[in-house]
C-alpha cells in the first residue's frame, strides 16, 4: 500500500511510495518527447525541407508517438505536400475582345463568330445578319443615342 503514515497536521496519510508528486506519468513524458521530435523536425524544415519532412514521417511512424501528435504531424505533412487554395495558380484563356461599343453588340458578334449555329432558319436572313454584324464593328453610335 502506498500510504503508511498519517500526517499529524493535516490528518491525511503520507505517501510512502510510487511516483513523486509533480513528476510526469509515462504518457505525458512520451507526448513531450514526441513533441520535442516534432519541434526538431520543424526546425530542420526551415533549413532543409526534405530532411524536415523525413523527420516528421519518422515521428508519425514511431510506435510510442501519441495519437494527437501523429494527427498533428499528418496535418503538417499534408499542408506541405498539397498547396492550399490561395497558393494554386490557374491559367485561363480569355477570348479576344469583341468589336462593338455596347455589350449587346459584342454579344451579337460573339454569337455570330463562335456559336457555329445559324442565327436564323433562312440563308438570306443569315447573310443579312452577317453584313449587319460587320457594319456594327466599324460603325460608331450616333450622337443622339448616347
User: Which of 39, 38, 44, 45 lies closest to 80, judged by CA?
Assistant: 45
Residue 2 has pLDDT above 60, yes or no: no
The answer for 11, left when phi > 0, alpha when psi is -120 to 50, beta otherwise, is left
List pLDDT tens digits, range 18-75.
777 788 888 888 888 888 888 887 777 767 767 777 878 888 888 878 888 888 888 8
User: Which of 31, 37, 1 lies closest to 17, judged by CA?
Assistant: 1
Task: Annotate 2-27 with three-state secondary structure.
Answer: CEEEECCCCCCEEECCCCCCCCCCHH
List pLDDT tens digits, range 99-117.
778 888 888 777 777 776 6
Averaged pLDDT, 88-96: 73
Rounded to 10°, the helix 49-61/67-81 angle is 150
Amino acid at each position: 500500500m502506498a500510504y503508511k503514515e498519517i500526517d499529524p497536521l493535516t490528518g491525511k496519510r503520507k505517501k510512502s511510495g510510487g511516483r513523486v508528486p509533480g513528476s510526469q506519468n509515462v504518457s505525458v513524458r512520451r507526448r513531450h518527447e514526441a513533441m520535442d521530435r516534432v519541434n526538431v523536425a520543424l526546425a530542420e524544415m526551415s533549413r532543409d525541407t526534405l530532411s524536415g519532412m523525413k523527420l516528421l514521417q519518422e515521428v508519425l511512424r514511431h510506435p510510442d508517438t501519441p495519437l494527437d501528435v501523429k494527427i498533428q504531424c499528418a496535418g503538417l505533412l499534408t499542408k506541405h505536400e498539397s498547396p492550399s487554395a490561395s497558393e494554386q495558380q490557374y491559367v485561363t484563356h480569355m477570348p479576344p475582345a469583341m468589336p462593338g461599343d455596347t455589350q449587346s453588340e459584342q454579344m451579337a458578334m460573339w454569337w455570330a463568330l463562335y456559336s457555329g449555329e445559324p442565327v436564323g432558319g433562312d440563308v438570306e436572313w443569315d447573310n443579312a445578319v452577317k453584313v449587319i454584324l460587320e457594319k456594327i464593328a466599324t460603325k460608331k453610335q450616333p450622337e443622339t443615342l448616347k
